[in-house]
Amino acid sequence: MTGNAQTKPAAKQAKTAITPTRAENYAEWYLQIVRAADMAELSGVRGCMIIKPWGYGVWELMQRDLDRRFKETGHDNCYFPLFIPLSYFQKEAEHVEGFAKEMAIVTHHRLKIENGVLTPDGELEEPLIVRPTSETVIGTAMAKWIKSYRDLPMLLNQWANVVRWEMRPRLLLRTAEFLWQEGHTAHESKEDAMAETRRMHEVYRQFAEEVMALPVIAGEKPSYERFPGADNSFTIEAMMQDGRALQAGTSHYLGQNFAKSLNIQFQNREGALEYVHTTSWGLSTRMLGALVMTHGDDNGLRTPPRLAPWQVVIVPILRNDGDKGTVMAYCESLKAELQAQTYAGERIRVKLDARDISGADKRWEWIKKGAPLLLEVGPRDVEGGKVCVTRRDKLDEGKSFVPQGEFVLRIASELGAIQQSLFDQALALQKARTVTDIKTRAEFDAYFGKEADNMYNGGQGFVRGKWSGDPASIAMMETHGVSVRCIPLDQSGEEGTCILTGAPATQDVIFARAY
Amino acid sequence: MTGNAQTKPAAKQAKTAITPTRAENYAEWYLQIVRAADMAELSGVRGCMIIKPWGYGVWELMQRDLDRRFKETGHDNCYFPLFIPLSYFQKEAEHVEGFAKEMAIVTHHRLKIENGVLTPDGELEEPLIVRPTSETVIGTAMAKWIKSYRDLPMLLNQWANVVRWEMRPRLLLRTAEFLWQEGHTAHESKEDAMAETRRMHEVYRQFAEEVMALPVIAGEKPSYERFPGADNSFTIEAMMQDGRALQAGTSHYLGQNFAKSLNIQFQNREGALEYVHTTSWGLSTRMLGALVMTHGDDNGLRTPPRLAPWQVVIVPILRNDGDKGTVMAYCESLKAELQAQTYAGERIRVKLDARDISGADKRWEWIKKGAPLLLEVGPRDVEGGKVCVTRRDKLDEGKSFVPQGEFVLRIASELGAIQQSLFDQALALQKARTVTDIKTRAEFDAYFGKEADNMYNGGQGFVRGKWSGDPASIAMMETHGVSVRCIPLDQSGEEGTCILTGAPATQDVIFARAY
């Protein structure tokens, strides 16, 4: 939108909106953005968060887009109980071991009040686990519902809260309670179930890249990082601005493990009883944290247009009461014209911020939240038929003054350009900080062991190279806090030697520090 | 859609799809519909339900419509923790007493596994309550967020699961866990808070009548039936087909009770510190039960078009493989033409049911689920350019054959007519079974005490008459299992005498048995 626009140089910013900056203290910068953008905050309840309006608004848009993709791929939404009896868990040993250390357990069903003192009362015969994930409870229902191959595939999804008792909570990224969707499906054969697992893995990849503007590496998890009870786990891994990896969505082929432990059988086409093959896949509010760590800058969040609750915010600038009538009328009409346009198949979401606080305060609030386009409209703009535009992703270019009609006509392409530019910047970072020339353990140790010398002193970056899978190599990585994030789907197939052990190895993997 | 259509008389139905019928056993009929319509079922987890695809699909449409109404009235969605520390509850005595007997309590945060035996481990210092409602946790956050009158009104809503440990669970109507929305707002004055309380009460009334086709009596709860901690509670009460009342949505003015116990203060316009006035209002998946009990018949559910996940279902009738190509092409094109039409502001939702099971089985499945319009399309219909239409709410009128073009053009008005007809039938029942000529306790006793002689042997109906509010009258009603459902907003204002005590009384109330 710089076509025939006049551009006014940005005022020198004496300081940034977020203190500290990324370079000063990345971990603290993250917390400050989450707060400043009104995304979320920790509550008085240990490890549990409050998701605030801007954060929840982004999550609603994520839900709406994902839900459409799930329905288009044939899935039905359901809702299953929050509580899972202890005995359900007992059936799948590997699964229960994976979650035992972080389960909230309900043991009583009423309170006794005596002299104002409240104590738990009415002990349950069988304790109930607050679901950390729902394979066992949904599998138990499937065992009842599935009779024959005609009932397959069974393709279910639920939007729900889950609880995993985190000893070290981290806002949005790792909290005791979080929101997510969990898909659970049952199939006649391994082939069908694996096709589903890969289909949903690809749905996540497309969603992350197209909607969240989050470039990811799609791959399989090494066996030691699989979901407890899975035969294969697939992941999309994103690089944060400090070079660490963040697991952004996972899709699991569960084989017949849960089918056998929960007795989910069907009569096959030949009339014989057989166990189904199941899958599960999930994506959570953790992605809100990924959004901040990917698109945040030292002035706050830059919300990708596809996920911005308000894509355009109009701030009327009133110098005296006499201005009010004409400026507000101009703003209202601008809002109506913008709302009549569409971007990515939906009406443009426009907020006219008419609150009784200063224009400067509003400006900084929307910059911190990351509304993609901010329009400031004063009496002189009304006279000239213009709008004063700030593009959030190009704050350093300052404000430009664009004729109103031209701005309205170009709104969709402008939002598309911002969406693309956020993706391109994140991809450029991911490429710049993915190292492919490390071949030996010494080089590996030097890379991950050196003093942080790159931007936002954190995880260094991704090392892409050969790995033999030898269990002994795991301890070698762990001394640096590094893990194998995934075995990317695109493999060179070339033979080589394992970076860590020197043994022959063909598979390429991504090594990194992770959130 | 009977204009120029040929009508074929309905085949005599030897039996109904639902056994028993309403007249035979209303309570069991209800459970059978919930099952047959794929709405919900009780799970293996005590008192907890599974909401199945058709039931959840209806709930999603309810959510979408309500959510739009909440946003239009200025509310922001947020998400607050599932767990509430015991100490939060302790602060509001009346509130905790109201919920103490039905609270699920988390006391441990991990499982110990020893020799395959699982036991709760890691006892919490302070037990956590699984939220039965969120006044205390949201109020605690508001106390932190609200500083001045400029922060008011604060208008929040959350979509969440809540847990109230029911000793006698009843599918959809009364379950240990259910889904709902809960609005929580804070205001400068009693006037503002009361206006909000009434505004949301009216939003519920409109939603119930316009979207659920559920005629309701809007009124205030008598003091002895108020929400624990409220100064005033408003309700919408619907009449079920057995004459019992069902509380369908409530809106509460909480005064300064929670503000004082949780210390939610603000600096007012004069610079002094003052407590806010708060409200809360909620509507839950219980409404799915109300839908069944209002619109169900002896063949299953009749889903109001505004809430039907599929408003039109097309069932291809194939007699031999040769038909398949032309019939399916005709159905696909019919589907596309219907989807291009809109009803109530949204695209028509059309399902082409191409499953490999018999047409008769499909027909009965969709009748039980209550898809408003069922189209069966065979080779002869293709030849004649017609569709064979079954209107779910007029099953006894049988099938009609309508030219395809005419059907497509009239689809929106046809769905509107079904929506209206369901509302009209429910309203006619409510009017027919509301008694207004009972003036004495003897008449009251005779009415509620007599052997059930009316349809679906249940609650008799509503008695509308005078009530003094004398506490002694409550026991008189309770002998019949009757309560004061509400004090309707529309009052005659005439003086009279209390039906139960004979004392002077001005207020008109609704007496009824209730779910």
pLDDT for position B456: 55
What is the rounded distance in angstroms from the CA atom of residue A366 to the CA atom of residue A359? 11
pLDDT digits (tens, 9 = 90+) for A134-158: 999 999 999 999 999 999 999 999 9
If you average pLDDT over residues B288-295, what whole number do you get?
98
**Half-sphere exposure of residue B214, counting CA atoms within 13 Å on the CB side?**
35
Q: What is the mean pLDDT of chain A?
A: 93
pLDDT digits (tens, 9 = 90+) for B475-513: 999 999 999 999 999 999 999 999 999 999 999 999 999
pLDDT for position B452: 58
For chain B positions 249-268, those within 8 Å of chain A (CB to CB) are none
Contact A110 B103 (CB under 8 A): yes
pLDDT digits (tens, 9 = 90+) for B441-485: 999 999 998 765 555 555 689 999 999 999 999 999 999 999 999
Q: Which residue has the tokens 């900084």?
A: A364
Contact A357 B150 (CB under 8 A): yes
Check pLDDT > 50 for residue A99.
yes
Check pLDDT > 50 for residue A13.
no
Check pLDDT > 50 for residue A11.
no
pLDDT digits (tens, 9 = 90+) for A409-427: 999 999 999 999 999 999 9
Name the H helices within B302-358.
Answer: 324-339
Neighbour tally for A3: CB within 10 Å: 9
Coil, strand or helix at A241: coil
Q: How far is B153 from chain A (nearest CA, A)?
A: 12
pLDDT for position A453: 52
Q: Is A49 on the interface with B (CB under 8 A)?
A: yes
Q: Which residue has the tokens 């949780």?
A: B262
Q: Is B354 on the interface with A (CB under 8 A)?
A: no
Contact A129 B111 (CB under 8 A): yes
Of residues B13 and B200, which shows the higher confidence score? B200
If you average pLDDT over residues B14-35, what whole number do you get?
89
Coil, strand or helix at A103: coil
pLDDT digits (tens, 9 = 90+) for B146-195: 999 999 999 999 999 999 998 889 999 999 999 999 999 999 999 999 99
Q: How far is B480 from chain A (nearest CA, A)?
A: 29
Q: Is B85 on the interface with A (CB under 8 A)?
A: yes
Which two tokens mark B465? Answer: 């008459």
Residue B331 in contact with residue B362, Cβ under 8 Å? no
Contact A118 B165 (CB under 8 A): no
In chain B, whose CA is at the least distance from the CA of A285?
B79
Q: Is B128 on the interface with A (CB under 8 A)?
A: yes
Contacts B127 to A, Cβ<8 Å = 108, 120
pLDDT for position A92: 83
Which two tokens mark A132? Answer: 């950390």
pLDDT band at residue A24 using 50, 70 and 90 as cut-offs? confident
Check pLDDT > 50 for residue A8.
no
ipTM value for the complex:
0.94
Check pLDDT > 90 for residue B142.
yes
Closest CA relative to residue A49, chosen from A150, A140, A169: A169
E strands, A33-104, are 40-42, 49-51, 76-77, 83-85
Neighbour tally for A274: CB within 10 Å: 16
What is the rounded distance in angstroms from the CA atom of residue A124 to the CA atom of residue A56? 35
pLDDT digits (tens, 9 = 90+) for A480-498: 999 999 999 999 999 999 9
Contact B105 A105 (CB under 8 A): no
Q: Which residue has the tokens 């008769």?
A: B360
Check pLDDT > 90 for residue A3.
no
pLDDT band at residue A323 using 50, 70 and 90 as cut-offs? confident
What is the rounded distance in angstroms from the CA atom of residue A190 to the CA atom of residue B455? 54
If you average pLDDT over residues B242-265, what whole number do you get?
96
What is the rounded distance in angstroms from the CA atom of residue B86 to the CA atom of residue B94? 14
Nearest to B106 among A113, A130, A179 (CB): A130
Residues 6 or more apart from B77 whose CB is under 8 A from it? A53, A56, A57, A60, B67, B70, B156, B157, B158, B159
pLDDT for position B363: 96
Nearest to A110 among B80, B100, B141 (CB): B100
For chain B positions 376-405, those within 8 Å of chain A (CB to CB) are none
Contact A107 B120 (CB under 8 A): yes
Q: Which residue has the tokens 């024959």?
A: A148
Cis omega (within 30 of 0) for bond into B20: yes
If you average pLDDT over residues A496-506, what whole number do you get?
97
Contact A81 B45 (CB under 8 A): yes
pLDDT digits (tens, 9 = 90+) for B67-109: 999 999 999 999 999 999 999 988 888 888 999 999 999 999 9
Q: How far is B18 from chain A (nearest CA, A)?
A: 20
